[in-house]
Amino acid sequence: MEGPDPFAAYHEALEARHLAKLTFAEVRRALQALSSVYVERRGRMAEGAVFDGAGKRAAFALYYGPMHFLLVREIVRALGLRAPRRILDLGCVTGTAGAAWALECEPRARVDGVDRSGWAAAEARWTFARLGVDGRATRADAVAAPLPGPPAGVLAAFTVNELAEEPRRRLLARLVEAARMGSTALVVEPIARRVSPWWPEWAEAVRAAGGREDEWRFRPDLPDRLALLGRAAGLDSRELTGRSLLLPPGL
Ligand SMILES: C[S@@+](CC[C@H](N)C(=O)[O-])C[C@H]1O[C@@H](n2cnc3c(N)ncnc32)[C@H](O)[C@@H]1O
């Protein structure tokens, strides 16, 4: 989309917001702990270990939020997605993935973020305001969230891997149905197999329904402080990677 990129100013404001209360070293340690829950100690997610402290919340907001913004923006651009009027962002946390898609739409789409965490919904509202996106965020179950009328975008970025088997099945059926009704459904997940062991089954179902599967590697131009945070926590942020499933409208 034409016009100045609001990402740099958003990232600066984000740093000021979170580093007013915590030091860089505290955020770095929290980012290491958070990343370990995501990658090695996944059983702890169900116990609520992801957002159980101010440090981990800030770490998510300062690192994963912006990284997901940049990744989803690149995916939306590469797939040339049709602009929906509204985007439902399932498991939105800080809302950056939905906002990234909305900012690529002309006219800009409205975003409805849904997350089971009350902290996440509040943080997403802040993100939408900073990025100039018309957005709302509520605390609710992502699997049961009402779907906006078509043509809408339904986005699940890094959320499906947190669902148990039964709600995950229900969500897949809902995404296929949303696309049949004329909306676009986009699922983004990490490439790591152990994070999303259900992926092959979903990919097959999506292909059978007329959708597509992609794997992505981008070289992002990160703000220096974001690259520094990733490096300090031992994360490789030179490449943005992920895989996606796309169910195009009107399958
Ligand atoms: C890794 S985060 C998603 C990241 C975010 N979409 C992004 O791209 O930055 C997963 C989120 O899903 C939320 N979540 C997991 N299961 C949920 C459910 N059943 N209903 C609502 N939110 C859920 C968690 O609270 C968490 O905030």
pLDDT at 83: 85
Phi/psi region, residue 234 (left: phi>0; alpha: psi -120 to 50; beta: rest), is left
- Cα(74)–Cα(16) distance, integer angstroms: 26
What does R_g of the chain's alpha carbons equal in angstroms? 17
pLDDT at 193: 85
pLDDT at 44: 63
pLDDT at 42: 64
pLDDT at 228: 97
Which band of pLDDT confidence, cut at 50, 70 and 90, is reported for residue 41?
Answer: low
User: Which of 116, 195, 226 should be mutated for ligand 1, with most atoms under 8 A from CB?
Assistant: 116
- To the nearest whole percent, how much of the chain has pLDDT over 90? 88
- Cα(251)–Cα(247) distance, integer angstroms: 7
So where are the chain's domains?
7-247
pLDDT at 129: 98
Give the H or E element holding residue 111.
strand 110-115
* Residue 156 to residues 22, 74, 86, 94, 143, Cα–Cα distance (Å): 30, 16, 14, 13, 10
- Cα(211)–Cα(191) distance, integer angstroms: 18
Name the residue at shortest CA distance from atom 5 of ligand 1.
92
245 CA distance to ligand 1 middle (Å): 17
**Reported pTM:** 0.96
* Domain 7-247: assigned CATH number: 3.40.50.150
